């Protein structure tokens, strides 16, 4: 599960032991039953009274039977994003049992009422660790009814208590009024959440079918999914479409299934999916207002589906906010899909093994808040270097920024987090790069820049060394960040913190600082004596760099690039060419290059010659390379 941190240093175990057997139940001094903990932007209709579950029913339970999506119904708070994520969470027991730890021990015991202390705890993932949040069981009510999140079962309270714990983490209930689906999914799972804009290309059959297969696979692999219909006109917010869906509203996806329709079902004229139809089950956090199109609860399509298929789906026809709809309709009706994947976890057995690197950092002015690549100060940002060891490597990157809700006492309890626009830029760099970049290099990819808590990217890179630069869009913007990189191959990733080599402690005696820096790129060679397997080596005063072997050619292309800090500008460097052999490699010639520190880029075609005293000896072939030497060691 990873690191667990006690929120505000409150220990559930210690506090529970203190109140066990006591006449008093736990009262949380850090989240008291008052308007400060509510901090609502709009007043409620009625007087709020904070009550314990034992005051609301005779036999309260944390869970009745087991957790399900029907246990989570939105109340008088605009947190459908949170409730929709809860509905998805409830469908995957190994996940909600992480969020609701020790759920059996936390349950009310009617046989031993003295074991009840009025205290619960829940866990949420934030910035690389799980935060354990303690709450008492006093809940806001009006007229004896829960004001906010509640279960359809009157004596079931896990969703209401979970919401209270999340409100405490955020600072207040009001701080949850409006939010992002992906944020809640990540907080529940520690997974990687991706927002997919369905209007951008997913109406086309190839891309739509690819996403359909992905959703089926993600559901089988216990990913959490939610969706929404975005609106640009605030006047349309929470109005219903002709098909019964709610605009500007979030839904939890609780199942994605394929069903057999069969040749005699009569559905072949309605759908073009052949023998199978993909259906998506959704949950409206309101507990009502369902889809009324194809495969809605009482639609004619269900009469054509066999009883065994309906039993597999667990079909119900209650007006409970949960409904099925065809995948094609889902794609055309919804605008946003959020998928939160668990990667490289021991909870589930995934098909693919991923390797993780993660870093905590911050953008601070004036040192490390450089903004996006559009700014001259871009390379002031933190930089992270890694190698791709194979010809093609898949990677997943997530960049998160601090969620300020509830983080500082100086922030208002109903504070709405104004996220900064963040993203990251990846460049391919010299194969021996060990120090910070001071000039932009060849772009590998750039993420979208999004004003949200996290940014997600999934793609692949070819073999080479890369530098990843996380940034805010605007310069001089200060906040903390958390970077996670998952790769298909095991890699070593490190932050570049030094600008150039520093002399050792004995520098006055035997060490010195570099006087200039050269960037050397060997494109290749032409006119070698025969078809052979060759490689090249760049050698300077203190360092050498070897290329890969290019097979069976007299005109190899290596594209070997290195950055070299030089201590004596008078000493030239060499580029040697070698034939790769089984027993002993054969020297094919070299080029001797003297790079003056004139800050100019030179394209050089140099004949191959002998080494040392034999530099006048001519060898077949010619090297093609570029050299730039800077008199400022901070320049490359």
Q: What is the DSSP string of 519-562?
A: EEEEEEEE--SSSEEEEEEEE-SS-EEE---EEEESS-EEEEEE
pLDDT tens readout for residues 584-632: 999 999 999 887 878 889 999 999 999 887 878 899 999 999 999 999 9
Query: For the chain, which residues make up each domain, given as ranges?
Result: 4-189, 192-341, 355-407+418-496, 516-630
pLDDT tens readout for residues 133-157: 999 999 999 999 999 999 989 999 9
Instruction: Name the CATH superfamily housing domain 516-630.
Output: C2 domain (2.60.40.150)
Confidence of residue 306 (pLDDT cuts 50, 70, 90): confident
Of the residues 150, 222, 249, 619, only one is catalytic, namely: 249
Of the residues 80, 149, 227, 536, only one is catalytic, namely: 80
The pTM of the full predicted model, rounded to 2 decimals, is: 0.87
pLDDT value, residue 278: 93
* pLDDT beyond 70 at 504: no
Q: What is the distance between the alpha carbons of residues 425 and 136, in angstroms, rounded to a whole number? A: 45
Given 3.90.1170.50, 3.90.70.10, 3.20.20.210, 3.90.1150.10, which CATH number is that of 192-341?
3.90.70.10
Question: What is the rounded average pLDDT of the residues 216-224?
Answer: 89
Confidence of residue 204 (pLDDT cuts 50, 70, 90): confident
80 is catalytic: yes
pLDDT value, residue 221: 84
249 is catalytic: yes
Handedness of CA 170, 175, 176, 180 (dihedral sign): negative
User: Is pLDDT larger for residue 507 or for residue 430?
Assistant: 430
Q: Establish whether domains 192-341 and 355-407+418-496 are of one fold.
A: no
DSSP state letters, 342-411: --S-SSS--SS--EEEEEEEEE-TTTT---STTSTTGGGS-EEEEEEEEEEEEEEEEEEE---TTT-TTS
Question: What is the rounded average pLDDT of the residues 13-26?
Answer: 90
* Closest CA relative to residue 98, chosen from 248, 222, 277, 14: 222
As a whole number, the mean pLDDT across the chain is: 89
Name the one residue in this structure whose structure tokens are 């996290």: 454
Confidence of residue 263 (pLDDT cuts 50, 70, 90): very low
Give, in degrees to the nearest 5, the angle at Cα 255 between 237 and 278.
Answer: 95
Question: What is the rounded average pLDDT of the residues 319-324?
Answer: 84
Q: What is the distance between the alpha carbons of residues 594 and 609, in angstroms, rounded to a whole number? A: 15
Confidence of residue 416 (pLDDT cuts 50, 70, 90): low
* Residue 366, preceding peptide bond in cis (omega within 30° of 0): yes
* pLDDT beyond 50 at 199: yes
pLDDT value, residue 264: 44
150 is catalytic: no
pLDDT tens readout for residues 437-448: 999 999 999 999
Domain 355-407+418-496: assigned CATH number = 2.60.120.380
pLDDT tens readout for residues 340-382: 988 764 444 445 778 899 999 999 999 999 999 999 999 999 9
């Amino acid at each position: 599960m990873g690191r667990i941190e006690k929120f505000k240093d409150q220990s559930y175990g210690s506090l529970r032991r203190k109140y066990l057997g006591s006449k008093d139940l736990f009262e949380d001094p850090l989240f008291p039953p008052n308007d400060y903990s509510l901090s609502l932007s709009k007043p409620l209709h009625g007087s709020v009274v904070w009550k314990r579950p034992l005051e609301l029913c005779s036999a309260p339970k944390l869970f009745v039977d087991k957790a399900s999506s029907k246990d989570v119904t939105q109340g008088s708070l605009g947190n459908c994003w949170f409730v929709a994520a809860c509905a998805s969470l409830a469908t995957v027991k190994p996940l909600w049992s992480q969020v609701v730890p020790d759920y059996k021990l936390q349950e009310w015991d009617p046989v031993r009422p003295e074991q009840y202390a009025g205290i619960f705890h829940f866990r949420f993932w934030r910035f690389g660790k799980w935060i354990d949040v303690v709450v008492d069981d006093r809940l806001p009510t009006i007229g004896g009814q829960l004001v906010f999140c509640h279960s359809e079962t009157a004596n079931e309270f896990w969703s209401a208590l979970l919401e209270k714990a999340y409100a405490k983490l955020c600072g207040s209930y009001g701080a949850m009024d409006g939010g992002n689906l992906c944020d809640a999914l990540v907080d529940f799972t520690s997974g990687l959440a991706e927002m997919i804009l369905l209007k951008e290309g997913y109406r086309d059959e190839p891309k739509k079918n690819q996403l359909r297969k992905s959703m089926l696979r993600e559901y089988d692999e216990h990913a959490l999914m939610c969706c929404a219909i975005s609106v640009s006109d605030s006047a349309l917010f929470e109005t219903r479409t002709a098909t019964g869906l709610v605009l500007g509203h979030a839904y939890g996806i609780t199942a994605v299934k394929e069903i057999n329709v069969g040749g005699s079902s009569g559905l072949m004229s309605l759908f073009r999916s052949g023998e199978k139809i993909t259906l998506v089950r959704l949950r409206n956090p309101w507990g009502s207002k369902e889809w009324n199109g194809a495969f809605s609860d009482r639609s004619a399509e269900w009469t054509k589906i066999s009883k065994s298929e309906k039993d597999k789906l667990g079909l119900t026809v209650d007006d409970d906010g949960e409904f099925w709809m065809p995948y094609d309709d889902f794609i055309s009706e919804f605008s946003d899909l959020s998928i939160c994947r668990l990667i490289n976890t021991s909870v589930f057995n995934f098909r693919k093994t991923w390797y993780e690197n993660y870093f905590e950092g911050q953008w601070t002015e004036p040192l490390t808040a450089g903004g996006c690549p559009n700014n001259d100060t871009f390379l002031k940002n933190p930089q992270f270097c890694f190698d791709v060891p194979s010809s093609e490597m898949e990677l997943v990157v997530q960049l998160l920024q601090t969620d300020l809700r509830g983080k500082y006492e100086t922030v208002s309890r109903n504070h709405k987090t104004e996220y900064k626009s963040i993203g990251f830029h990846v460049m391919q760099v010299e194969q021996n790069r060990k120090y910070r970049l001071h000039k932009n290099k060849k772009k590998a990819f750039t993420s979208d820049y999004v004003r949200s808590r996290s940014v997600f990217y999934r793609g692949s890179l070819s073999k080479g060394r890369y530098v990843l630069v996380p940034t805010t869009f605007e310069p001089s913007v200060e906040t903390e960040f958390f970077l996670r990189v998952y790769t298909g191959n095991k890699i070593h990733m490190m932050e570049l913190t030094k600008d150039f080599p520093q002399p050792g402690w004995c520098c006055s005696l035997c060490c010195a600082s570099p006087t200039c820096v050269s960037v050397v790129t060997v494109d290749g060679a032409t006119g070698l004596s025969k078809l052979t397997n060759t490689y090249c080596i760049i050698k300077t005063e203190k360092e050498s760099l070897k290329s890969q072997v290019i097979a069976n050619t007299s005109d190899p292309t290596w594209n070997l690039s290195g950055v070299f800090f030089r201590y004596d500008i008078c000493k030239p460097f060499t580029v040697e060419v070698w034939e790769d052999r089984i027993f002993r490699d054969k020297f094919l010639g070299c080029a001797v290059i003297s790079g003056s520190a004139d800050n100019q880029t030179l394209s050089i075609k140099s004949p191959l010659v002998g080494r040392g005293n034999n530099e006048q000896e001519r060898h077949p072939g010619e090297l093609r390379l570029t050299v730039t030497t800077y008199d400022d060691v901070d320049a490359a």
